[in-house]
Amino acid sequence: MTPPLVAVRDLVKHYAGERRWLGLGPAPSPVRAVDGVSFSIPAGKTLGLVGESGSGKTTIGRTMLRLQEPTSGKMLFDGSDVFSLASGPLRALRRRMQIVFQDPYSSLNPRMTVEETLREPLEIHGLKGAVSALLDEVGLDAAFAKRYPHELSGGQRQRVGIARALSVEPQFIVCDEPVSALDVSVQAQVLNLLADLQTKRRLTYLFIAHDLAVVRHIADDVAVMYLGKIVERAPAAEIYALPRHPYTTALLSAVPEPNPRARKQRIVLAGDMPSPARPPSGCPFHPRCPHPLKSERCRTEIPPLREITPGHLAACHYAERPMDGR
Amino acid sequence: MTNPVLLRVRDLKTYFVTEHGKGTARAVDDVSFDLYPGETLGIVGESGCGKTVTSLSILRLIPEPPGHILPGSLIEFDGRNLLALPLQELREVRGNQIAMIFQEPMTSLNPVFTVGDQIAEAAIIHQHLSRGAARARAIEMLRLVGIPDPDERVDHYPHQLSGGMRQRVMIAMALVCHPKVLIADEPTTALDVTIQAQILELLDQLQQELGMAVLLITHDLGVVAGHADRVVVMYAGRVVETAPTDALFERTTHPYTEGLLAAVPRIDAPRSRLHAIPGQVPAATAWPTGCRFHPRCPHAWDKCVAQEPPLLETGTPGHTARCWLVSEPERRVPKR
């Protein structure tokens, strides 16, 4: 087996808690945005990282590229430890790791033409490359080179964002909710484009999304996050067929299906995700958990992420007896 | 349906003068539909199809200028044309008999007033409740929309609430006067999927309890499938297909609706390429000639370029589609 291109080990990112008024009173508890996360992605494959707002999924993507400094942990990219690199080697490595952001409106400089936006990374890394070829590769006409972001639709902007990431010929791309802000027909175009580029350039993706249905169409493996932790991780086909964690089951059940006959009994979770500054005791999901076997053990004992069947990990005391979500 | 129509929209045209006064954006261009008491009517379409402008036009919330609703448009509610109503009388309808909730609860709530004050406002204005009685009503509404500890939450400000809670507050504000019509414009788009499920379930439950009609505006065919009785599909300022929900999904007729449906990522399908509608929604200042969907349609022929189809009866009761394929089905290009 070839070693994975990307491997994250025990990644932790804590933010200092909110300061109290005049700094009085007891020290605030830190916000545990990412709380000990590990995964790896083989070259040419896609890991779908799914979770709701506040689950820590975006923080993971940014920390992996060191757009934010981690609190602790390791990130191995093709054998080098990204978190311990000095700025020079880090910059060289960044050429091989890129990111596509969620919001194509705020991630492009409004004062730069498409050509200037695509030229900049090439100049920084001293590379030669043709802007027109990049545009062609993402399905935009060469005439777009002279336009400014405000002249483009959301889908076109996202294509420019993808072209910018591709310009330095990376091996690994963090796709941070790249289609969440797009209409459904444009979303399909951009997802297909990402899949085509992956095949053509043998790219490795970390695909971050809040939507399990979108991830279904791009990911080889799926990791589900809740409150800074991975609660389930498995090959895609398996996690959709037999989710082992009740949170995954609930997420799948909540996806609105475009089929009126499928008016199934939905699992509707009560309440909101708790604050990552004050995670619940025991299993972080227990206050909202709909599992019929939920017990005192869930309230007191943190379930470790453990292998249930080969390659299928879940952090639930009752993962051997998963909930029926259908 | 034997019920009398509650809200009748006929030939609605809402146009906008563009920035330099050079062009006219025909955002809503001749839209008609009926809303019956107690039903949920879904209006589906992508950005730029005119669904939000339609909903804003109903309560005359279109900023004028640059927008204007053209003469000849009719919005009839309870026997009165809202478009001809003096502002004073319109105010008695707005927020009282027809209420609205918006997509983004944070920007639609006032950050400097407590949620209790904001819920109570409509009750004080429309039902002339005293401050004390209105506060009690606000607490009752917060309980109705499922907010825990309503006696405490009533004094909270919007920033102290989560996104899902804020949307519940918006719903409480909208329903405080027991409206006959609730217009819900993308009520769950900004929310996480588990919170979306909560809010949609809440809307269903409140509709059953209070018996109001809901105009559910969304881009999500999944939301429509689970919650609407009938559906209006909009494209390029026009209604392109309308049908009872089951018929729309089982006998999808308009190629745009087909394309939208095929583009939805499914959890029940194996990993595969998604169907994408080629191209993009045209600009409202320059709709294509003939059928407005023809440049993106896999079936289009010369007739579609030359002549726009009317809404044609498909044969299923209540199901119409603006497509020549209804009368010339042999023109349909088989799927590859």
Q: What is A209-260 written as a DSSP string?
A: ES-HHHHHTT-SEEEEEETTEEEEEEEHHHHHHS--SHHHHHHHHHSPPS-G
Q: Which of B46, B226, B249 sits opposite A184 (nearest CB)?
A: B46
**What pLDDT does residue B229 have?**
95
Separation between Cα atoms, residue A293 and residue A324, nearest integer Å: 12
Confidence (pTM): 0.88
Pick among B145, B274, B319 to test the A interface (most A CBs inside 10 A): B274
Domain contains A277:
yes
CB contact set of B18 (below 8 Å; sequence gap of 6+) = B24, B25, B66, B285
Closest B-chain CA to A259? B225
Domain contains A270:
yes
Separation between Cα atoms, residue B100 and residue B275, nearest integer Å: 34
**Which chain A positions have a beta carbon within 8 Å of B201's beta carbon?**
266, 268
Residue B228 pLDDT > 90: yes
Contact: A272, B162; criterion CB under 8 Å: yes
User: How much is the average pLDDT of A105-122?
Assistant: 91
Contact: B225, A251; criterion CB under 8 Å: no
Instruction: Compute the Cα dihedral for A252, A213, B42, B255 and give only its sign.
Output: negative
- Asked if B45 and B220 touch (Cβ cutoff 8 Å), the reply is no
Examine residue B317 and say whether the peptide bond preceding it is cis (omega within 30 degrees of 0).
Answer: no
Domain contains A280:
yes
Task: Give the distance from residue A232's alpha carbon to the nearest chain B alpha carbon, in angstroms.
Answer: 17
pLDDT confidence bin for B44, thresholds 50/70/90: very high
Contact: B221, A258; criterion CB under 8 Å: yes
pLDDT confidence bin for B190, thresholds 50/70/90: confident
* Residue tagged 């191209």 (tokens): B279
Contact: B267, A240; criterion CB under 8 Å: yes
Contact: B280, A186; criterion CB under 8 Å: yes
Separation between Cα atoms, residue A318 and residue A285, nearest integer Å: 13
**What pLDDT does residue A166 have?**
93
Separation between Cα atoms, residue A251 and residue A237, nearest integer Å: 16
Domain contains A303:
yes
B252-282 residues labelled b (16+ CB within 10 A) or e (exposed): bbbbbbbbbbbbbbbbeeeeeebbbbeebbb
Domain contains A292:
yes
- Asked if B191 and B199 touch (Cβ cutoff 8 Å), the reply is yes
- Asked if B82 and B156 touch (Cβ cutoff 8 Å), the reply is no
**What pLDDT does residue A264 have?**
63
Q: Which of B222, B274, B276 sits opposite A255 (nearest CB)?
A: B222
Domain contains A18:
no
pLDDT confidence bin for B1, thresholds 50/70/90: very low
Cα-based angle A122, A127, A129 (whole degrees, multiple of 5): 75
The boundaries of the domain holding residue A277 are: 244-326
Tell me whether 0.95 is exceeded by the ipTM.
Answer: no
Count: domains in chain A: 1
User: How much is the average pLDDT of A83-94?
Assistant: 91
pLDDT tens digit sequence for B255-264: 999 999 999 9
- Asked if A223 and A287 touch (Cβ cutoff 8 Å), the reply is no
**What pLDDT does residue B74 have?**
95
Domain contains A103:
no
Separation between Cα atoms, residue B215 and residue B221, nearest integer Å: 14
pLDDT tens digit sequence for B75-124: 999 889 999 999 999 998 998 899 999 877 778 889 999 999 999 998 89
Closest B-chain CA to A214? B265
Contact: A216, B266; criterion CB under 8 Å: yes
Question: Would you call B31 helix, strand, or coil by DSSP?
Answer: strand
**Which chain A positions have a beta carbon within 8 Å of B245's beta carbon?**
260
pLDDT tens digit sequence for A190-233: 999 999 999 999 999 999 998 899 999 999 999 999 999 999 99
**Which chain A positions have a beta carbon within 8 Å of B198's beta carbon?**
268-270
Contact: A256, B226; criterion CB under 8 Å: yes
CB within 8 Å of chain A, chain B residues 43-72: 46-47
Closest A-chain CA to B147? A271
**What pLDDT does residue B38 have?**
92
Contact: B225, A257; criterion CB under 8 Å: yes
Domain contains A36:
no
**What pLDDT does residue A34 have?**
93
Cα-based angle A90, A91, A94 (whole degrees, multiple of 5): 85
Question: Would you call A32 helix, strand, or coil by DSSP?
Answer: strand
User: How much is the average pLDDT of A159-182?
Assistant: 92
**Which chain A positions have a beta carbon within 8 Å of B219's beta carbon?**
183-184
**Which chain B positions have a beta carbon within 8 Å of A269's beta carbon?**
194, 197-198
pLDDT tens digit sequence for A260-288: 877 567 788 888 888 888 889 999 999 99
Query: Which secondary structure element, helix H or strand E, spans residue A122, and what is its range?
Result: helix A114-124
**Which chain B positions have a beta carbon within 8 Å of A219's beta carbon?**
271
Q: Would residue B236 be called left, alpha or beta, if left means φ above 0 and alpha means ψ between -120 and 50 degrees?
A: left
Q: Which of A86-95, A215-224, B2-11 has the highest mean pLDDT?
A: A215-224
Residue B127 pLDDT > 80: yes
